[in-house]
Chain A
Amino acid sequence: MIELENVAYSYGGGELLSDISVKLAPGSFHFLTGPSGAGKTTLLKLCYGALLPTAGQVRLFEAEVRSMGRADIALVRRRIGVVHQDVQFLDHLPVADNIALPLTVAGRSDEAAGGDMADLIGWVGLEARAAGLPPELSGGERQRAALARAVIMSPEVVLADEPTGNIDWEMSQRLLTLLVELNKMGKTVLVATHDLGLIRAAKAQVQARVLRIANRRVQLAGADL
């Protein structure tokens, strides 16, 4: 589904990631952890074609990312839902329209008026906020809105970069529950986080593998997590 093979990524003359090989199998749940600045966000961006590797191969749904044009990458992104820590919205559009944005850009905006949309907004608990504008949302609400936006196209993969970084513990648990539910629906999930408590909480609910970035390389984390 998403496969990185001997991938390296350099930036500003220095190598940030080196010899990374990761395979996200369908329906798997992975955590990506490591200290700040270790390259978690960079690795995630490699996983959805926002960055191109300086060495090695990144395959997105069997296609090598360097052989893809920008239009192809845009189409692939419709199959990958992404949630960032500092979520960005179109602040002039209501929350519901922001959640429906992937449908809009895919030319399927008519689907946004259906019951599925209402169900999705209910699933993330934003019924009361759907008509408001994004700047009116709290941190947790923004993350949930971002998650709803990430999954509205029913993507095969969900990537989340520090999704609980700006929210309290209770809200983190709620968001984690949503991610676990997505995984149980068959979605492949990769969550980059340095929150070990979140990882432990997740492992109680789902079969999750933990990848740790250290010294520019990725390794499977030990059982202590």
Chain B
Amino acid sequence: MRVNRAHLRDLLIGDRQADRVVPPTGFTARLTVFAAGAMAFLAVFALALSLAAGRLADRWGSELAQTATLRIVAPTEQRAAQTDAALRVLEATPGVVTANAMSDAEQIALLAPWFGTNLPLDTLPVPRLIELITDDRFDARGLSLRLAAEVPGAVLDDHTRWRAPLISAAARLRVLGWCVALLIVAAVAAMVTLAANTALAANAQVIAVLRLVGATDSYIANAFVRRFTLRALAGAAGGTFAGLVAVTLLPTGSATAPGLLTGLGFAGAGWLVPICVPVVAGLVALVATDLAARRALERLS
């Protein structure tokens, strides 16, 4: 396929007279526009899902990657001593930037959603929590072994156990979103190819007349390619606009409770991605129709 600059200019600008040589096909045209619009609408949602999953994975990764929690599970009378011992170990541990033992008030605030604010923390065997901020030198396994020897009641949780599968799930969801978008692109190509083949077959007489009067294959192909490209472009633009409106109308999550379903949408430069949908649909239609037209013209020659 030869899509050089002149070819593209001919396709995009076209010739009003040349456009008229292909008979208008009302129903087929409307179907092509509708199908392109529906595909673009779905593509916007697939992309929104993919980008939202990506953001979620990044957030989980970045927010929790540099933190760990140490639980001091000890009888009430030993809890303070073991907490001090653990803090001394942490001070001497490479990679621990800060270690902050949570106060009773902070722990009550943490448990308030489940137990209310009047929790008698001193009478309950609630473990003391130490919040760690770490850097790249942090060795969780080494610290666990040292704590096991020096502070028997300390249990280190570097969040890996529950963070890894969530990040993995979010990453797969992101890949799935892109796969769906690619499938939609393939479906657009198939749909446009079918529509173009139907139009070319139905217009065999038109092609014969055009050839008789000296039309080149490029001229004939361009007349069909331009028509289907513009239809796909128009349909996809409408579908993308509708998809963006629908995504905008989805409920949004708050900053304190972000979630995948409530965070579905676009952010920042991500808004540029759905804008590419009509362009991609137009390019796919251009290539698909061009290939279909050249095959059909070869067959009809």
Which A residues form the contact surface with B (CB < 8 A)? Answer: 50, 70-71, 74-75, 77-78, 82, 84, 88-93, 97, 101-102, 104-107, 109, 149, 153
Contact = CB atoms under 8 A, between A and B. Distances in A.
Contacts of A97: 20
Interface residues of B, number: 22
Interface string B40-73: 0000000000000000000000000000000000
The B interface, classified by DSSP as helix, strand, loop or mixed, is: helix
Contact of B208 (A71, A88, A104): A88
B113 interface: no
Interface string B143-155: 0000000000000
Given A90-B23, A92-B24, A104 B17 contact: yes
Most buried by A among B21, B212, B216: B212
18 contacts: A71-B217, A75-B214, A77-B211, A77-B212, A77-B213, A78-B214, A84-B212, A88-B205, A88-B212, A91-B23, A92-B23, A93-B21, A97-B20, A101-B209, A101-B213, A104-B17, A105-B18, A105-B216
B118 interface: no
B209 A74 contact: no
Given A90-B21, A104-B21, A107-B15, A70 B216 contact: yes
A-B pairs with lowest CB-CB distance, top 4? A78-B214, A105-B215, A77-B214, A109-B17
Interface string B180-211: 00000000000000000000000001101111
B214 A90 contact: no
A190 to B, nearest CB: 16
Contacts of B301: 70
Contacts of A92: 23-24
Nearest to B24: A92
B10 to A, nearest CB: 10
